[in-house]
Structure 1
Amino acid sequence: MSLLESPRPPASTDALAVRYRRVRARSLALAAPLSAEDACVQSMPDASPTKWHLAHTTWFFEQFVLAAQPGYRAVDDRWAYLFNSYYEGAGPMHARAQRGLLTRPSLDAVLAYRHEIDARMQRAFEAGALDVHAWRTIEIGLHHEQQHQELLLTDIKHALSINPLQPAYRDDLAQARADAVPLAWQAFDEAIVEVGAPPWPESAEAFAYDNESPRHRVLTLPFALANRPVTNAEYRAFIDDGGYENTALWLSAAWARIRADGWARPLYWHDDLEREFTLGGTREIDPHAPVCHLSYYEADAFARWAGARLPTEFEWERAAVSNTPSSRDNFVERDALHPQGGDSQAEGLQQLFGDVWEWTTSAYTAYPGFAPWPGTLGEYNGKFMCGQWVLRGGSCASARDHLRASYRTFFFPPDRWQFTGLRLAKDFA
């Protein structure tokens, strides 16, 4: 019996249909402020056009759910080639770096495609035509779409940032400022702890990706974790102290990158170090908010400068396991779409979830006993376990119900167009 063919039925097919409509509607809402021209642009090979995100997440449900039904006929047989991403088992695909050349189909045609697939999915829900395998695949597809919603925002931010006009994605985004709590450390004793999630859906009640499993034990030596992420003011002090000029702080590959590309500040900061480009346009930098859009290289260099280090992903998870993402955290639901300062009156660890993804010093690799999902969906995570680093916690562009303490995302060390920041750790005797 395969992983996705678990005999356990869904708790509620009606609840799944409601969640399907809600997640799909959010994608359209996030795309709504953009023009057709905005939605077609691709500003770099790592990013994708908004139109492609809308089409690809729709293709997922057509390819992996609807097409499994007897006698199914595709909306357009040609679109599987255009909107596949990296699923080799699903067939050939258009080159990632050339997605911005897909002026056809039009945005209107893509929106019509979404409408048609959603209508077909609704009929399948109502007819009771979806078996347990389909239900599991839909759950994966909804979490997959939530990931693309975050990418939609970070990709369009990059595209708008290189426009000389630097237009705002939205000029009505919520702004809130609060003084950062003073930096403090929370100590953790040496312990053998359990990390990760049970394999879903075989033994886990809640959804988890295959790269989060199996649950296993690890040893964490005594360490201390900062009570909050590093702020803009603290990172500005690193810059003012010549951090980008001090070769002793940088890994060799990092030093080569900052020299080659002329990095001297976080992505989107202006030369004056007083303003930054945001999804709400150019704004003054909030000194108390978490610094963001840092590469692993920059996070690591800052930690060295601060006399600390980055946490391992297991240290981070140990600290976060007693916390759960909540409405108090700065996720996409808050509609700020930018990191904000925490609660200056709060005690203990703050902002573990939301605001910024936090770089760890852990390479993205398989847990002991890892088994990818069977079939084509097994390409989702496992084949990328090479040369990337783990980040934890989610960001201001993440959906709250998409995150958990065991969640692992991953990017290459130079990547910094995501909402990525850092939290300091240090050895503790």
Structure 2
Amino acid sequence: MILTNSLVDFFLKTRAHTEKLCSPLEIEDYVVQPMADVSPPKWHLGHTTWFFEEFILKKHLPEYEGFNQDFAFIFNSYYEAMGQRVVRADRGNLSRPSVAEVYDYRAHVTAAMEKLLGQGEIGAVSHLLEIGIHHEKQHQELLLTDIKYILGNNPLLPVYSSSIKEHQQNKTAQEWLYVPEGLYSIGHATDGFCYDNELGRHQVYLNPYKISNKLVTNGDFMDFISQGGYAQFHHWHAEGWDWVRKENITAPLYWHYIDGNWHHYTYNGLKKVHKDAPLTHVSYFEAFAYAQWKGCRLPTEFEWEAAQHRFSWGQRWEWTESAYLPYPNYKKAPGALGEYNGKFMVNQKVLRGSSVATPSQHARPTYRNFFQTHTRWQFTGLRLAK
């Protein structure tokens, strides 16, 4: 647990950083929703505020006056226990409340939280506060990737920011790291923050395996494309092959073939693809197919965790071959917070690591991200195993 004074500072800095991420946006950008998985920036600003209001202020600050009673409806995400909510795909229809009103809502709730925390009763809400902070950090990552999708689907492919370095090139030679068979401890073990899906530290037996010291690069994947990887059904799961044909997938998300060269949309606008930079924005289907094409496979999440101290990670969320399932003796938290992770443990794959969009103090070796097999708007890449 973070020390009390540090936790308050952590809260305030996190709130400020969310708004900093939105500072390059034009007012028209705040409400766009090109697909159901992407939430408008205005909604992220409101939802992360709703979390503190509903879970902490309404229960622990007796004199708290809600900002707007309708906001409990429009800014709830998926918490059945918290009442009705706007359908996820309709968040882009919220032209009202205005962006200015949502920022006023944020200021109102942040000020009330400062008042509560200044009363010296932090102990009673410290657990909820820490979850709320990391919930907002989680949304900062989603906010960044949603902004990229919004602007990357704008025909003008506008620049968002020049300060985010998406594509750090890595010319390190590939090595296969050997991991001997044996029992390995998996799961969160320190006093630091984690989500409930990381708990239940346990041992797993692993057969001997090898894992790549580096991520698959753009250049590697260009070879897959040029040699017909998207046209050869035997590399793909049946569901993945159906997805490729139905959606006419021929390259990673944001890639454009222009005048004989691959380009892709970045936060800095349209740029040439760097061959030595790690591949990103591919689905699990594509990651699996590439691994098959190379005569390799994806690591399981347990293989990844057992070996992660031997390689560099953090530039991409890395697809694994593991289904998103509970650890032994997993128990959902009581009440609405029990909906945070447990109810999503079906039909999803685990990703490990973090990405260039992950905010500070939010990445750790035991973090278990999870997405459906077709999704690729996050910074998803892959590492090979065999």
Report the TM-score range of the alignment, normalised by the length of the smaller protein. over 0.9
State the Cα distance separating 1:11 from its structure 2 match. Answer: 5.2
* Correspondent of 1:253 among 233, 239, 252: 239
Determine the C-alpha separation between the residues in 2 that align with 1:303 and 1:101. 40
Determine the C-alpha separation between the residues in 2 that align with 1:394 and 1:243. 27
* Correspondent of 2:323 among 355, 360, 363: 363
State the Cα distance separating 1:168 from its structure 2 match. Answer: 1.2
Equivalent residue number for residue 117 of structure 1: 109
Pairwise CA RMSD: 1.4
Equivalent residue number for residue 306 of structure 1: 294
Q: Flag structure 1 segments of 5+ consecutive residues without an equivalent.
A: 1-9, 199-203, 324-347
Q: Which amino acid aligns with 1:291?
A: L
1:192-224 Cα deviation digits (max 9, x unpaired): 1110125xxxxx511110011100111111000
Determine the C-alpha separation between the residues in 2 that align with 1:415 and 1:236. 20
Structure 2 CA distance for partners of 1:225 and 1:165, relative to 1, 3 Å: same
| 1:10-159 correspondence to structure 2 within 5 Å | 12-69=3-60, 70-132=62-124, 134-159=125-150
1:146-188 Cα deviation digits (max 9, x unpaired): 1100111111111111111111112454477545212110000
Q: How many residues align?
A: 383
Q: Which amino acid aligns with 1:410?
A: F
Equivalent residue number for residue 3 of structure 1: none
Equivalent residue number for residue 291 of structure 1: 279
On the 8 A contact 1:214/1:369 being kept in 2, the answer is yes
Equivalent residue number for residue 187 of structure 1: 178
Equivalent residue number for residue 340 of structure 2: 380
Determine the C-alpha separation between the residues in 2 that align with 1:84 and 1:173. 30
State the Cα distance separating 1:400 from its structure 2 match. Answer: 3.2
Identity %: 45
1:232-282 Cα deviation digits (max 9, x unpaired): 000000101100011110000000000000000000010245210011110
Q: Which amino acid aligns with 1:254?
A: G
On the 8 A contact 2:2/2:192 being kept in 1, the answer is no
On the 8 A contact 1:364/1:389 being kept in 2, the answer is yes
Give TM-score, length-normalised by structure 2.
0.96
Where 2:361 maps in the other structure, the secondary structure is helix
State the Cα distance separating 1:129 from its structure 2 match. Answer: 3.4
Structure 2 CA distance for partners of 1:266 and 1:143, relative to 1, 3 Å: same
| 1:250-289 correspondence to structure 2 within 5 Å | 250-272=236-258, 273-289=261-277
Q: Does 1:414 align with 2:374?
A: yes
State the Cα distance separating 1:13 from its structure 2 match. Answer: 1.9
Determine the C-alpha separation between the residues in 1 that align with 2:275 and 2:96. 44
On the 8 A contact 2:315/2:356 being kept in 1, the answer is yes
Give TM-score, length-normalised by structure 1.
0.87
* Correspondent of 2:220 among 234, 239, 246: 234
Structure 2 CA distance for partners of 1:397 and 1:173, relative to 1, 3 Å: closer
Q: Which amino acid aligns with 1:402?
A: H
Determine the C-alpha separation between the residues in 2 that align with 1:359 and 1:176. 18
Q: Which amino acid aligns with 1:349?
A: F
Determine the C-alpha separation between the residues in 1 that align with 2:89 and 2:153. 17
On the 8 A contact 2:64/2:112 being kept in 1, the answer is no
Determine the C-alpha separation between the residues in 1 that align with 2:47 and 2:212. 39
Structure 2 CA distance for partners of 1:117 and 1:367, relative to 1, 3 Å: same
Determine the C-alpha separation between the residues in 2 that align with 1:180 and 1:154. 26
On the 8 A contact 2:39/2:92 being kept in 1, the answer is yes
Q: Which amino acid aligns with 2:36?
A: P
State the Cα distance separating 1:366 from its structure 2 match. Answer: 0.8
Where 1:236 maps in the other structure, the secondary structure is helix
State the Cα distance separating 1:398 from its structure 2 match. Answer: 0.3
On the 8 A contact 1:13/1:125 being kept in 2, the answer is no
State the Cα distance separating 1:71 from its structure 2 match. Answer: 4.2
